Amino acid sequence: MNSFTHSRRWPQGALSVCLVAGLTLAVRADSLKEAAPAPVAPPVLKASAEGQSGQPMMCPAGGNHGVVKSMRSNVRARPSLTAEPIIQLNKGESVTIVERKAVSENGKEVEWLRIQLPAQAKCFVSAQLVSNGVVKADSVYVRCGPSTNHRDVGKLAKGASIEVVKTEGAWVQIKPTPQCTGWVAAELVETPPAPPAPETTPTPAPPVTALPPTTADVVAPLMPEETTVKVVDTDPDMIVQYVMKDGIFQAVSDASAPAQYQLMTPELNRLQQRMCYLESDQKTNLSCFEGKHVRVAGSERWRKGDRYPVLTIDRIQIVL
């Protein structure tokens, strides 16, 4: 039985039909020494703390460096052993770590490192969205392959400069930018040891005076705790994973299709390709999304022998 964990933040200002997850932040104060100032090593956050909170742990500005310990170490688009591979690193190569994250997979917790992609990694953007080495649209996704079926590994702002390697049809291969990142298993990378945590003296909390409940205390609902989505696959002939995809939402006219709706690629030269079928187990009117550019997330199942997977919608929003 395979299990996958997914946690995702959605862009602000988007029209969405989704569940809202809370956000937990952890802050640690550094102690000050009265002795003469000495060089201070950048803090390395512990994976155990991340695993307890369920939140990714951000490394300091500039990132920490690590060294790959194994030959042919896969860098993947997401923190999962089944995620799409981007590139393989060899023993001795240096990587810049920007985030640490622990994910529950196959019944055990696996620690992952988010790293900046090396210069030899292949990254692609739509040729329609760049001109003369400059991004001409807002929030352009960088993908690890020349298709929207490949996962995104970064995002570029309008006006950003890029170094073009070559053009492949409707896509342009570029050199990875600092915003392009991938995930590698922490066990494959040697990192500097974490410094001991500074000793702090607890400050007694001031007395709290109880106040009578107000209307807001009674009426205002609490935000839910962050939820973890686990996808369980019990059929050996079925591939199940939690995914997020962008495309054009369309109805299906074929009565023999496995679902009523489908997700299509944007039209290019009057041609479109089906990415997957879409279904929903919620009582939601999906017809309002027809013909619109949407972003959907949910559990995708792909039975061996089927040409297209079926995605059960968990969240859907219009991409403006």
Q: What is the pLDDT of residues 173-227, one digit of tens each?
A: 999 999 899 999 999 999 877 667 677 777 777 766 555 554 444 433 433 443 4
Closest CA to 129 of 105, 149, 159: 159
CATH says 229-318 is which class? mainly beta
Q: What is the pLDDT of residues 209-222, one digit of tens each?
A: 555 554 444 433 43
Mean pLDDT of the chain: 76
CATH architecture of 43-119+176-194: Roll (2.30)
The whole-angstrom distance between residue 60's C-alpha and the CA centroid of its chain comes to: 19
Q: Is the pLDDT of residue 157 over 50?
A: yes
Closest CA to 179 of 90, 99, 101: 99
The whole-angstrom distance between residue 245's C-alpha and the CA centroid of its chain comes to: 12
Check: CB of residue 267 under 8 Å from CB of residue 278.
no
**Per-residue confidence at 47, pLDDT binned at 50, 70, 90?**
very low
Q: What is the pLDDT of residues 260-275, one digit of tens each?
A: 899 999 988 889 999 9
Q: The pTM is what?
A: 0.44
In the chain, which segments carry CATH 2.30.30.40?
43-119+176-194
Instruction: Calculate the alpha carbon distances from 120 to 80, 200, 244 in Å.
Output: 22, 45, 26
Q: Is 218 helix (H, G, I), strand (E, B) or coil?
A: helix
Burial class (CB in 10 A: 0-12, 13-18, 19+), 44: middle
Q: CA-to-CA distance for 35 and 157, rounded, in angstroms?
A: 45
In the chain, which segments carry CATH 2.40.50?
229-318
